[in-house]
Each structure stands twice: as C-alpha cells, then as structure tokens.
Amino acid sequence: MLSCAPMKKSTIQFTVDLDQNNIPSKIEWDATDKPDPGLTDTKSISLALWDHVHKNTLRIDLWTKDMPVTEMKRFYIDCLGGLAQSAVTATGDEFFGTEIHALCERLVKHVQNQKD
C-alpha cells in the first residue's frame, strides 16, 4: 500500500500600517520558511497574481512614504530582472528573458544618469 505524505504548506503574511490618508507608513512581513522568525521591516511590496479564470493579472504595489525614489526605481529594476529569470525558467524562452534583461540594463543607465 502506498502512503502519501501530507503536502507542505507555507504562509506569507504582510502587515501594513496606514497613516490618516491611507498611505503606508510601515510595512512588515513574515513567512513560515523565512530563516529569521518574526516580523521584518520592508519599504515596498510588489505582488502579482494570475487570475486564470479572467486571464489577467491582479497586482498589489505598496511602498512606504519614506522610501526614496531612487531606491524605488532600483526595486522595480530588480523585480524586472527577477521576472526575466523566472520567465526563462518557466517557459524556456531565452529570447524573452534576454529582452527583459536588456530593458533592465537601459533602465539602470537611465537611473545612473539622473541627478538626485
């Protein structure tokens, strides 16, 4: 008789403190598989979910009011770079990943050329 082990579950939790204008003033996160237990501060979250029924993406993008614009731009460049690698892993489409990486390189140059 075959025995099936229970599937592992992992939980990710976000806690967002809002100011009187509903702007995030503090964002914390925790996860069951995180190496360090307890809530950890972050300045930004970008979460995307694929709705397979409606064939579209649901997004949650939050950032604290004290996150510097330059860091926000770096955050989005890093997100795009991560998506490029994930897309190659998920689809095997190297061209797709290469094009996203090329965009990231152009965006890095753009940010570097801007004056603070």
Residues 58 and 84 in one domain: no
Beta-carbon-side half-sphere exposure of residue 9 (alpha carbons within 13 Å): 2
Do the Cβ atoms of 29 and 38 come closer than 8 Å? no
Residues 60 and 77 in one domain: no
- The answer to whether residue 54 is domain-embedded is yes
Region 8-12 average pLDDT = 91
Residue 8 pLDDT level (bands cut at 50, 70, 90): confident
Strands lying side by side in the sheet with 40-42: 12-18, 24-31, 40-42
pLDDT for position 6: 80
Residue 2 pLDDT level (bands cut at 50, 70, 90): low
Per the structure, the complete domain to which residue 35 belongs is given by 12-65
Number of domains observed in the structure of the chain: 2
How far is it, in rounded angstroms, from Cα 43 to Cα 100? Answer: 24
Tell me whether strands 56-63 and 40-42 are parallel, antiparallel or unpaired: unpaired
Span 68-116, pLDDT tens digits: 999 999 999 999 999 999 999 999 999 999 999 999 999 999 999 986 5
Residues 57 and 25 in one domain: yes
- Asked whether the whole model's pTM tops 0.85, one would answer no
Q: What is the mean pLDDT of the chain?
A: 93
How far is it, in rounded angstroms, from Cα 42 to Cα 92? Answer: 32
Residues 18 and 58 in one domain: yes
